[in-house]
Every structure is written in structure tokens, then in C-alpha cells.
Amino acid sequence: MNSKDNAVYDYFNRPLRDLRISVTDKCNFRCTYCMPAEIFGPDYPFLKKNQLLSYEEIERLTQIFVTSLGVQKIRITGGEPLMRKDLPHLIEKINKIEGVEDIAMTTNGSLLPKFASDLKSAGLKRVSISLDSLQDKVFGEINGRNVSVKTVLDGIDAADKAGLKVKINMVVKRGMNEHEIIPMAKYFRERGHILRFIEFMDVGNTNKWNLKDVYSKKEIIQNIHQVMPLEAIDPNYTGEVASRYRYSGSHEEIGVISSVSDAFCSTCNRARLSANGMLYTCLFASIGHDLREPIRSGASDDQLKDLVEKIWFNRKDRYSLDRSDSSKTRKKIEMSHIGG
Ligand code: SAM
Ligand code: SF4
Ligand code: SF4
């Protein structure tokens, strides 16, 4: 059956189209804005193997989301997704599901030299690779593990060579790396990769988020425009989260994901599945809905479908539009659990 005919709509009439699957909460980096090393230390209680959804369980849920709930796009994320064993095997399973129009992955790139070619053969189409600076000193401090810029650039090369479509993600935080906006823009423009700037977000409760540290979309655009003039262009599709800009007189473009300064909740069509099988209907959610328990206690496909349909039907999330002082302090799920 065509998934387009099965769309489910939430309280604000937003369809469910995009499923982001986190396959692990572990990571080989400790980015200060995501998994600060002082909190995610050696004693941090990461999920144990039997707490993770197995690849068979992920495949089954994805099948239900795509065939019966209208999902068209899948993104694999983490933690660092390539830390999970045999990831190409999962991609292969998902790629076989009829109705999946797109499979992408978000990664820090460090393990792509090892896996890019297998991922491509398994059916992966696109990767978003995160890189926040071209200077080793700055990047090493941000990633918390002194990983070199070259490590990620090698990952980008490997993805290119394997034939994957590549975009680059750069989180911009005031006082951390705003001076790297222009060098990064020039570097990736020359190489023909779309660079997407992401405003520093208040996901989770551990990254010491403060509004004054948010380097806004407006500032990012002004900064680049002074050196390389930009013009706004239309979104590729409804619900695209990045605002797109083209360098005037060229085909090269950049994007800005402005979840703080210019929220896009009104078209948000994403659900997020954590590595332990909790479904979250917003990046800033406090509570998730357990899908692992019903799966493991024998729920049928129809029962699982009904459960998710009900959850989505009652969805009223629009955190970025309503962001308030009290919502900043309430307990929220960590980014490394749901993957951005
Ligand atoms: N480990 C992979 C990576 O870094 O690409 C995938 C998971 S990571 C959580 C997904 C994306 O979220 C990355 O591009 C990362 O830079 C971004 N991110 C993490 N914490 C963030 C924050 N507080 N604000 C904005 N973006 C954030
Ligand atoms: Fe790891 Fe990605 Fe989070 Fe950095 S942003 S700590 S690479 S999960
Ligand atoms: Fe979607 Fe929640 Fe982000 Fe709004 S705040 S765009 S509802 S994930």
C-alpha cells in the first residue's frame, strides 16, 4: 500500500513523515554542547545491549511506520551511529522496505573511512557530517577528545568516493566558533558541499545552554553576506528545516537551522525513536512513549500501529515556538539519546 495514503495527522494537522532512529547512545566524541565530558564520564550509565532495540525490532517498527503510518524518510543517528556493530546490515534491511523514499545518516564522520563503501552498497543515500571548525585547536576543544580536523575531512572524502551525497553540519555557538563561519563557508563552497549552520539549542539539561550563547541565523547570514553576498531561496519541500541561501550569481548554497531564533514547529513532521525504543514527538520532549515493552510482550503489528497513531494524533508539541523560562528548567531528553 502506498504510504502517502496512510498519513496520520497530529492536533495541529501536521503529518508524520520523517522518522529519526537513534541506534546507540554511545559516542567516541564528547562535544561540549551535546555530551559534556564531565557528565558523560567513565561511570555514565550508557544503555546495555539488551536495552537496545535489536535490528530486527527496528526493522519491524520501521516497516509499520512506513507502510501504515505515512513515514517516507528515515534518518539513522545516535550518539555516533557508526559505533553500533554492523550498521550497514540495518541499512540493508531498511532499504528493502517498500515505501522508504530516502535513507540518510548523521555522523561525526570519524569512522566513515572504514564504513562508507559498505553503507553505500547497503543502500544509504546521504550523510550529514558534523564539523564545527577547520582549526585543530578549536575543534579538539569542541569535540572533547582532541580529534583532529583531518580525521573528519578523511571521512568526508571517503563518503564522496563511495558516492554518498554529503552535507556538512556546523553548530555555531557564541564564543566557541563564530570566527570559523567564513573559513568553513569558503572551504565547503570551493568543494561543492552544502554547509548547514545550526543554532546552539537547549536540548537536554547538561549543556549549560544560555540564550546569550546562541549565535542567531540573522547574525550568521549577515556575517557571510558581507564577504560573499547571499540571496534567499525557496525550501525544497514543505517541512524542510534549513532556510536555504544561494551565493549570488552561483548555484552553490548554504542552509541555516534556526530552531531558536526562527522556529519551524508549524511544519514539524518528525518522530524520534531512541536506541532503547522510546518514541519522542519533539526534540525537546520530557517524556517518551515506550515501544520496546509492547514489542517484547508480543504486541501485533496492528496494535503497535494503533499505539503510535494515538500518540501522534494527540501530539501538541511546538516547544521552539513556546520556549519559556519554565520550559528551560524542566527535565528534557538528552541529544545523545535521540540524535538531533
Ligand atoms: N554523532 C552524530 C553527529 O555528531 O553528527 C549524530 C548525532 S548528533 C546528536 C546530531 C547533530 O546534532 C549533530 O550535527 C550535532 O552537531 C547536533 N547537535 C548536538 N547537540 C546540539 C546542540 N545543543 N545544539 C545544536 N545542535 C546540536
Ligand atoms: Fe557525539 Fe554527535 Fe554528540 Fe558530538 S554531537 S558528542 S559527535 S553524538
Ligand atoms: Fe518539532 Fe519540537 Fe523542534 Fe518544534 S521544537 S520543530 S515541534 S522538534
Q: How far apart are the C-alpha atoms of 174 and 119, rounded to whole Å?
A: 35
What is the pLDDT at residue 204? 87
185 vs 88: CA distance, rounded Å: 31
Q: How much distance in Å is there from the Cα of 30 to the middle of ligand 2?
A: 6
pLDDT at 263: 84
Judge if the beta carbon of residue 34 lies within 6 A of ligand 2: yes
Strands (E), 241-280: 243-247, 253-257, 270-273, 278-280
- How many Å apart are CA 124 and CA 23, to the nearest integer? 15
Contact 267, 14 (CB under 8 A): yes
Atom of ligand 2 nearest to the CA of 40: 6
Q: Is 128 helix (H, G, I), strand (E, B) or coil?
A: strand
Domain architecture of the chain: domains with CATH? 18-338 (3.20.20.70)
Mean pLDDT of 252-276: 94
55 is in an annotated binding site: no
Q: Which three cell numbers stand for residue 215?
A: 549565535
Chain segment 80-115, per-residue pLDDT in tens: 999 999 999 999 999 999 999 999 999 999 999 999
33 is in an annotated binding site: yes
Sequence-separated (6 or more) residues with CB below 8 Å from residue 324: none
**Averaging pLDDT over each range in 6-10, 131-135, 204-208, which range is the top one?**
131-135
Residue 240 has what pLDDT?
Answer: 82
80 lines ligand 2 (CB under 6 A): yes
pLDDT at 233 over 70: yes
Distance 128 CA to ligand 3 centre (A): 19
- Say whether 85 counts as a known binding-site residue: no
d(CA 28, CA 144): 10
Each residue's pLDDT tens digit, 126-143: 999 999 999 999 999 999
pLDDT tens for each residue of 163-200: 999 999 999 999 999 999 999 999 999 999 999 999 99
DSSP SS3 for 50: helix
Which of 210, 206, 213 minimizes the C-alpha distance to 38? 206
Q: Give me the pLDDT at residue 2, please.
A: 42
Average pLDDT over residues 3-23: 90
Note whether 224 and 253 are within 8 A (CB). no
In this prediction, residue 4 carries a pLDDT of: 52
Q: Tell me the pairing of strands 278-280 and 270-273.
A: antiparallel
What pLDDT is attached to residue 62?
A: 98
